[in-house]
Amino acid sequence: MVGGSLSQWARDMGWAGIVVNGCIRDVEEINGCDIGVRALGSMPVRSSKVGIGEKHVPVYIAGTLIRDGEWLYADSDGIIVSKYELSI
């Protein structure tokens, strides 16, 4: 789950956005942050933190395999994934 603090951290690290295959919280705080966040929904309850995770591994989101190094483009209509940077 992503909340306001994590989205602020991502913005400070220079990230353009976050795609969450789950829920977010602190929606108003995230909307006020200069970073794009797309999620399946929102949830008012905090998640339990286990402190584990993986980097640079393929993930499936909504039946689509997304690999390290691929480009994600998102707007309010949806998300597309490309193996190459697209000229917009």
User: Is 3 annotated in some ligand binding site?
Assistant: yes
User: Is 25 annotated in some ligand binding site?
Assistant: yes
What's the rounded Cα separation, in Å, for the pair 4 and 26?
5
For 88, the token pair is 């917009």
User: Is 5 annotated in some ligand binding site?
Assistant: yes
User: Is 4 annotated in some ligand binding site?
Assistant: yes
The SS3 call for residue 29 is: helix
DSSP letters along 48-84, please? Answer: PP-----SS--EEETTEEE-TT-EEEEETTEEEEESS
- Annotated binding residues for substrate, written as ranges, equal 3-6, 25
- Annotated binding residues, written as ranges, equal 3-6, 25-26
- Annotated binding residues for Mg(2+), written as ranges, equal 26
